Structure 1
Amino acid sequence: MSSIKNVLYFQSGLGVLANMFLLTFYIFIILCHRPKPMDLISCQLSFVHIMMFLTAGDIWLSDLFESLNIEKDFVCKATFYTSRVMRGLSMCITCLLSVFQAVTISPSTSLLAKFKHKLKKYIICAFFYFWSFNLSFSSSLFFSVGAYNNMSDTNQMKVTKYCSHFPMNNFIKELNVIVSTLRDVFLVEVMLTTSVYMVIILYRHQRQCKHLHSIRHLRASPEKRATQTILLLVVFFVVMYWVDFIISSTSVLLWRYDPVVLTVQKFVVNAYPTITPLVQISSDNRIINVLKNLWLKS
């Protein structure tokens, strides 16, 4: 079990460092250069992923709060609430990333083309809506989660070192499950729909370029590289989401979280925020050029 936890610490450390690098890079771009709408989304996503790692179960902040002798019930509610908010934001912003790229590469004759000139305005409005919705929706966790104790084990389900789920009113519990499921299904469907749309556009573009004997230009297209990167991230996110959903649903139905299953779930949840910055770093020419210059100077 200790070796598995070491893997989680390594995964978290790698994820935090990669996302911190991206966050610093995008803040510099936003403050010192003319940022692209994609930079605003990526900056927000990097921040959300850092917070996900810091509030993930027994790792980082939980241990810090314990050393400061802060009340465990507060630690539990604060970290669990923040973690759930960040996971919801990660899904929403990934969906926004997919929709944004679909609008960006859409041909001028499509219905989406009229939104291209107002993308930055729509992105800021979307951020405000996503934060407001997730902060308010997850507030029910303050009543359903609390510090773990050794009494009445049958009435609580331990989910982290300090936290347990407690039984809720059936109506409230079912309402939360329905709303969260509808939110997740809607966002996943939007991601899949925009992904299919982007694949179709890329396929048509490739056929046109082959017809015009300019396939070399297509391979060098920044739009194509960005689209392929987002498609990869969306597919990976959807796969990780459904694995997490199956684990969570099974555990809730059985009202039992096996420690090994819980550890596997943490690894699955952290997989996307770990892979995302690495994919973005390897596909952004601006970042690659910065790293090359740093390497040459050293």
Structure 2
Amino acid sequence: MDELISANLNWGLICLTYTGAGILGNSSLFCLYNFSLLTMQVLRPIDLILSQLVLANNLVLFSKGIPQTMAAFGLKSFLDNIGCKFVFYLHRVARGVSLSTTCLLSGFQAIKLCPSISQGMELRFRFPKYIGFCCFLCWIFPLLLNIFIVMNVTHPRNSKNMSTEKTYRYCYSPIPETLLFSLHAVIFSFTDAMCLGLMVWTSGSMVFVLHKHKRRLQHIHSRRLSSKLSHEARATCTILILVSMFISFYCISSVLSFWITQTVNPSQWLLNFSILVSSGFPTFSSFVFLFSDIRVSRFCFACWTRKTNAPATVSGL
């Protein structure tokens, strides 16, 4: 009994650290990307996409990581029927928004970088005007497609037949009929596969263009061209890392989810590892942005300069 309590405590601390780090990183980025609105500066089109991505990732951690952390510490009936429906619906919607926004971010950078995708300069200049509408669509489809979650998920106290329900530690979901489950699986599989396919295509195009530019720079020694391409290359490499990270976590999470659904009594380590993987992209992507965004380094440098110059100013007085 003591070993079980110790294991639950250790797992709860891991979930708390894991989720807390991701929420802190995404919240910092959200404030950074919206700082231009507060200071009345010109908002870059990509900042709107990045703000939506970190917001969706934060919602994933709030709706998945926090309840799982509370359940790991031994709390079981902390959500009522409405709470279970809301948490699961929010998680599914946030996951869908994160997927579509990552796809949008990859497509936006590909249009900026690849002339063959933008089909001339007109699309490259017109596309930023429609980013707000594209971000709106990223929310509409997940909100509509996941409505059935509200009807299925229920609180354990409202559960009538545990043998025909799937447990999620703090809530239950009735196992759907074969036809209904197949229809939902086809819809979600199609939308996910389409977004993942677009990510792979745009990422491959960006890699090809970067390789082509690198070979061209070996023959053309232009500082202006080199500086412009190096800036685009840094942004593109960051997005390629994010896309690769998202696809990796998504594939591993899908395999684990299928494994769990096909197992009668899945082991505790399998459930715990699946939870960590499903929250992997929202947590680690925030640190990719923090280490790659030049505004973060400028802000840290400004704070460090102000801190080091403060004693000298005081001594001068």
> What is the TM-score with the length of structure 2 in the denominator?
0.85
- Among 26, 49, 55, the alignment partner of 2:57 is 49
Mean CA deviation greater in 187-196 or 125-134: 125-134
Structure 1 residue 236: deviation in Å? 0.7
Secondary structure of 2:115 counterpart:
coil
Asked if the contact 1:9/1:59 (under 8 Å) is kept, the reply is no
Structure 1 match to 2:311 = none
Mean CA deviation greater in 51-60 or 229-238: 51-60
> What is the TM-score with the length of structure 1 in the denominator?
0.90
Structure 1 residue 54: deviation in Å? 0.9
Structure 2 match to 1:59 = 67
Secondary structure of 1:146 counterpart:
coil
* Paired positions, count: 294
**Does residue 130 of the first structure (1) align with residue 133 of the second (2)?**
no
Structure 2 unaligned blocks of 5 or more: 1-6, 308-317
Asked if the contact 1:54/1:60 (under 8 Å) is kept, the reply is no
Q: 1:105 to 1:30 in 2, by over 3 A?
A: farther
- Among 181, 194, 198, the alignment partner of 2:189 is 181
Asked if the contact 1:55/1:61 (under 8 Å) is kept, the reply is no
Structure 2 match to 1:12 = 19
- Among 79, 85, 103, the alignment partner of 2:93 is 85
Structure 1 residue 112: deviation in Å? 6.0
Asked if the contact 1:52/1:87 (under 8 Å) is kept, the reply is yes
Asked if the contact 2:26/2:55 (under 8 Å) is kept, the reply is yes
Structure 1 residue 233: deviation in Å? 0.5
Structure 2 match to 1:197 = 205
Q: 1:38 to 1:9 in 2, by over 3 A?
A: same
Structure 2 match to 1:279 = 288
**Does residue 207 of the first structure (1) align with residue 223 of the second (2)?**
no
- State the AA in 2 paired with 1:17: L
**Does residue 263 of the first structure (1) align with residue 272 of the second (2)?**
yes
Q: 1:19 to 1:55 in 2, by over 3 A?
A: same
- State the AA in 1 paired with 2:20: G
Structure 1 residue 29: deviation in Å? 1.7
Partners of 1:242 and 1:13 in 2: how far apart?
24
Structure 1 residue 70: deviation in Å? 7.5
- Among 158, 161, 172, the alignment partner of 1:164 is 172
**Does residue 101 of the first structure (1) align with residue 124 of the second (2)?**
no
Structure 2 match to 1:143 = 151
Partners of 1:166 and 1:76 in 2: how far apart?
13
Q: 1:51 to 1:285 in 2, by over 3 A?
A: same
**Does residue 3 of the first structure (1) align with residue 1 of the second (2)?**
no
Structure 2 match to 1:74 = 82
Structure 1 residue 169: deviation in Å? 2.7
Structure 2 match to 1:238 = 247
Structure 1 residue 121: deviation in Å? 2.5
CA RMSD of aligned residues (A): 2.5
Structure 1 residue 252: deviation in Å? 2.2
Secondary structure of 1:59 counterpart:
helix
